[in-house]
Amino acid sequence: MRPYDLLFDRALTRVDAERIHHAAFRAIRVATPVTGRAVRVSSAPVQALGLTFPHPLGLAAGFDKNAVGIDGLAALGFGHVEIGTVTGEPQPGNPQPRLFRLKADRAIVNRMGFNNDGAEVVGRRLEKWRRGHATSEGVRRTGPASSLGGTVPILGVNIGKTKVVPEEEAVRDYEKSTGLLARYADYLVVNVSSPNTPGLRDLQAVEKLEPLLAAVRRRADEATPDRRVPLLVKIAPDLSDDDVLAVADLALASGLDGIIATNTTISREGLASPAAAVDEIGAGGLSGQPLTQRSEDVVRLLRGRVGPDLTLVGVGGISTVDDARRRLAAGADLLQGYTAFVYEGPLWPQRIVRGLAD
C-alpha cells in the first residue's frame, strides 16, 4: 500500500471531506515552489482548440473554484487547469455538509451549489495572475517554463448560473461572467449540467441552449477583440443518447469549439456502497469510478456524430492509465480528472501522463 493510501484511509477519511479539501489545497499552494522544481512530466503535446496543450491531462472544474491555486496545481503535473464554476454573482453555495465520500465505489457525492467569489472577484484575481506570468499570445497558448520551475498551464474558465437568478434571466447572468472573465481564459466553458443549481440542467435542452451559447459567443468576442476564445459546453451523463446527439448537432451548427463529457450524475445505480449510507447522504452529483462506462460511451457517441474536428474533453471515472487510454480511443482529444486526484493523491497526474507517454 502506498503512503498516501494509508494517510487517506486512516486519517483523511476521518475528517469532513470539505475541510480536508481546503487543508489539502492550502498545502498544494504552499508547496508550489518545491513541486514546481521537482515535477517533470514529459509527453507529446496535444493540438486542440487552436492551442498547444503540453499533454492530454488536466484538472476538471470544481477543485479550484476561485482561481487561487493555478500554479500549484500545474506544478503537480496537470497540463491544463479549469477553474470554477464561477457565477455572475458571489454565492455561498448549499448548506454544509455538502461533500461526501463513497470509498467502496471510489466516488464522491457533492451538492456544493457553485460556491464561489463571483465573476468580479475572480476576474481581478485572474488579471493579477496573468500579470505575474508572461502574457504574450504565444506564451499563453503553449505553456512555457514559469518562474516557479513548472509550466504555465492552459487555463480554462468554467461559468454557470447564479442560483438566485431566474431561468428567464440566465442568459444575462452568463453574459456578465463572460464579459468579466473571457479575456483571461485560454478557453471558456458553459456549464449547464450541474445537478445542484435548480433549473440549470433544463438549459441543456437545445431550444434553450442555442440562444445561450450564441449570447456567450457574442459577449466573448466583444470582450476579446484581439483573439477568438474557444467556447465549449459541459454536458451531463444523464442525457439520453438522442439528447447527446442533439447537443452534438447544435455544436456543429453553432460553431462551438468543443464539448466536455461528462459532468456528475444523479444516478445511484450499481453502487457497491450500502444503500442506507447512500440514502443518508442524499441528493447531489456523483463522480468517480461509477461514471467510467457511461462517460466513455458519451464520448464515443459524440465522436461518431461530430467527426474528427470538434474537440472532445473526456472526464468522469478516469482513474488508471488504462481508463485514460480507453477514453482517448473512444474519441477524446483531452482528458480531465478530479475524483481520482482525491483518492490517488498528488502523484496521480504524473502517473497518468507518464503511463500515457509509455
DSSP calls for 223-237: H-TTS---EEEEE-T
110 is an annotated ligand-binding site residue: yes
Dist CA 188 CA 182 (whole Å): 7
26 is an annotated ligand-binding site residue: no
85 is an annotated ligand-binding site residue: yes
288 is an annotated ligand-binding site residue: yes
**Is 319 annotated as catalytic?**
no
115 is an annotated ligand-binding site residue: no
DSSP calls for 241-308: HHHHHHHHHHHHHHT--EEEE---B---TT-SS-HHHHHHH-SSEEEEGGGHHHHHHHHHHHHHHH-S
35 is an annotated ligand-binding site residue: no
Dist CA 336 CA 309 (whole Å): 19
What would the grid cell of residue 290 be? 461509477
65 is an annotated ligand-binding site residue: yes
264 is an annotated ligand-binding site residue: yes
337 is an annotated ligand-binding site residue: no
* Cβ count near 16 (within 10 Å): 13
338 is an annotated ligand-binding site residue: yes
Cell 458571489: give the residue.
90
Dist CA 125 CA 323 (whole Å): 34
> Are 68 and 98 a contacting pair, CB within 8 Å?
no
Q: Please, which residues bridge with residue 286 across strands?
A: 109, 265
> Are 290 and 265 a contacting pair, CB within 8 Å?
yes
88 is an annotated ligand-binding site residue: no
191 is an annotated ligand-binding site residue: yes
Extended beta strands in the chain, E state = 46-48, 51-53, 57-59, 80-87, 99-102, 107-110, 154-160, 187-191, 231-235, 258-261, 285-288, 311-315, 334-337
36 is an annotated ligand-binding site residue: no
* Cβ count near 218 (within 10 Å): 12
265 is an annotated ligand-binding site residue: no
Dist CA 44 CA 53 (whole Å): 9
Rounded to whole angstroms, what are the CA distances from 138 to 20, 69, 182, 188? 37, 23, 17, 18
Given 146, 194, 287, 319, the catalytic residue: 194
Q: Provide the annotated binding site for FMN.
A: 61-65, 85, 158, 191, 234, 262, 288, 317, 338-339
Catalytic residues: 194
Q: Provide the annotated binding site for substrate.
A: 65, 110-114, 191, 196, 263-264
Q: Provide the annotated binding site.
A: 61-65, 85, 110-114, 158, 191, 196, 234, 262-264, 288, 317, 338-339
